[in-house]
Each structure stands twice: as C-alpha cells, then as structure tokens.
Amino acid sequence: MADVDLQVADGELMGLLGPNGAGKTTLISILCTMVQPTSGDATVCGYDVRRDQTAVRRSVGVVFQDSTLDEDLTGQENLNFHARLYGLNAATRRERVNTVLELVALSKRRGDLVKTYSGGMRRRLEIAKGLMHNPKVLFLDEPTLGLDPQARRRIWDHISKLRDACGTTVVLTTHYMEEAEFLCSRVAIIDRGRIVAIDDVEVLKANFGQDRVELRVLGKPDPLLHEINQLNDVLHCSVQNGRLHLTVRSGDSFVPKVMELARSCKLEISSLSVRKSSLEDVFMNLTGRETGEDLFSSE
C-alpha cells in the first residue's frame, strides 16, 4: 500500500472497491491490528493501531473474507466463545447473543452445529459474531462473496438495518458494484495499493462516469450531427445504421439540448434512449480494463 489517505466519519457506511490484490484486505488487516503498517499512521476511534492495540481491538468488529467459525460448535456456542474473548460478562453476553441472533434471523437455528448451516447462514453468523461486542466500527471484508442473490439481499438488509439501528460505522470491501451502490454512502476506489478516487457514489458517477445516449431521427442526421459536435459535453459521437451513438458527460442535461437542436434543424427524433453510467463504468475507467491481466503477469 502507498499513500493511502482515508478518513471515515462516525456512522458512515464506507465502501472500498478495487480489483483483486488492490490492497483492500491489507488495509483492513492494518486497521484491525492484525498487520503492522511499515510506515504511516492509522487511528481507529482515536486509538493508534500500533500503540493502543487493545483499545483498537475492543472498538472494532471484523468479518473476514473467509470463515472464522468453528464448525464443531453450535451457532450459539460460537457466539459465546466470541463474547468471552471480548470479555463480556454473563448477563451482557446472554442479552447480546439474543439480540444479534435476532438481527440476523438465526434464533431458530442457534442450537444446531455450524456444520449444518448453509453458506448464507454462515455469513450471517459471521456478521452476528462481528457485532457481538457492539463495536463502534465494523469491518466487513467481502461479506457476500459467493452467496446467491437472495442471501446477498438479506445480508444487505441486515447491514443497513444495523447502521440505522446502532449507528455503527461500517467499512466494507467488495467488488460487487451493486453492493457498493446499494449500501455505501461513500466509496473509495483502490488500485495497486493507492486510492484513485473517493467520494459519494453519485459524485463519482458524475465526475468519472459517462452516460450513453442513442437516438434516431427521421431523415438525414448530418445537420444534427454537425450541431451536436459543437457541444462541449459530448465526448464521443458515431453513426451506425442511421442511429447516433453518443457518449456524454451527463445524459440528464444533454437530452433537452439535443431536443432543442433537432427542432432548430427541423428534424424529428423518432427514438431516444439514455443509459446512465453505472459505478462499474466508473470503476473500469479508474482501474483500467487491463488491471486484471497486469496483476497476473506481475504476480
């Protein structure tokens, strides 16, 4: 990792996006004191990750990318184990176990061995485990990796419910764009150990995204094409089979303009469609299409 400068506010739901090997997991490992940073400083809830390790560990909950559950114990026993590791007393422990099991809808299966749980249930139990000690900050490292869409949706619901109900700050890594768009108020895009962009999802889209507009006119489009090329928010323009394919900064503001231009050229628009840029477009723009291959050749 190099030159990562990142601040996450209290109660924020921050997303870390990046291709495989970009450094997302390393960043989380540093922030939860598992790995010592070779240089630079990091503080969590005001505690330094090098000097106040115990205080940091007390304040954060971590849900790792891969399982940390003991399959030979029941769901409840896993939670009890975790609670005791965090020094919760018996009364708090019982109350918290009930609360988190309720939150992830696993109360009915609490007495079953984790061996018998499905993938989605295991992930939910992991999240419940991360929440046991009521952490101020929760790190989720790819919480929905390998889950079916229903299970993923349920976990998203749990995460947003949790942020709303407990005010927990959540830092989440993912490479599912929908996940980041659905959950995160702010997103940092990491590539090769550096933060290449950080902002609200909508702002990122506006700054780095490009909307695509496709329109068709009755008659010859040439005069309109000429006018369109004069506009400075058009990035790219081509004609295919009588259809105009345009790449523009913002489709919302481009549409009224093009209507106006068509009217002045006395052309009738027969169809017009706008495809808004997605976070994925932003991601691809910023991290480059060749990243994956680059990584394979350098590793």
Partner 1 sequence: MSHLFAAYALWERAIIKFVRSLHKIMISMSMPLLFLFVLGGGMGNLVKYGDGLNYMGFIGPGVMGFILLMNSMGNGMNILWDRKLGILKAIVVAPASRASIVVGMAMGAVTTSVIRALIIFVALVLLDFIRLSPWMLFTTLFFMFLMSWSFAAIGIAFASRMTDPETYPAVINLLVMPLFMASNALYPLEALPDWLRVFAYANPLTYGIDGLRYATGFPYHFSPVLDLIVVLLFFAVSTLSCWRLYCNVRL
Residues of this chain that bind partner 1 (CB under 8 A)? 32-34, 54-55, 57-58, 60, 62, 64, 66-73, 77, 80-89, 129
Alpha-carbon distance values, 90 to 87, 95, 96 (Å): 9, 9, 10
Rounded Cα distance between 11 and 105, Å, is: 23
When the beta carbons of 85 and 235 are compared against partner 1, the nearer one is: 85
Structure tokens at 158: 């749990």
Q: How far is the CB of 156 from partner 1 (least distance, A)?
A: 23
Q: Which residues pair with 139 in a beta bridge?
A: 62, 171
In this structure, what DSSP letter does residue 112 have? S
Nearer Cβ to partner 1 (15/61) = 61
Could you write out the DSSP letters of every residue in 91-105? HHHHHHHHHHHHHTT
Nearer to partner 1, 55 or 234 (CB): 55
Alpha carbon of residue 112 to chain centroid: 32
Query: Nearer to partner 1 by C-beta: 86 or 156?
Result: 86
Degrees, nearest 5: CA angle 94-96-100: 125
CA neighbor of 24 nearest in space, from 211, 172, 242, 230 = 172
Query: Token pair for residue 17?
Result: 């996006």
How many CB atoms are located within 10 Å of the residue 160 CB? 14
Signed CA dihedral, 281, 283, 287, 289: sign only: negative
> Which residue, 3 or 66, is less far from partner 1 as judged by CB?
66
Helical H runs in the chain?
24-31, 53-59, 75-85, 90-103, 119-131, 149-166, 177-183, 201-208, 222-230, 251-264, 279-287, 291-298
Least Å from the CB of residue 129 to partner 1: 8
- CB of 54 vs partner 1, minimal distance in Å: 5
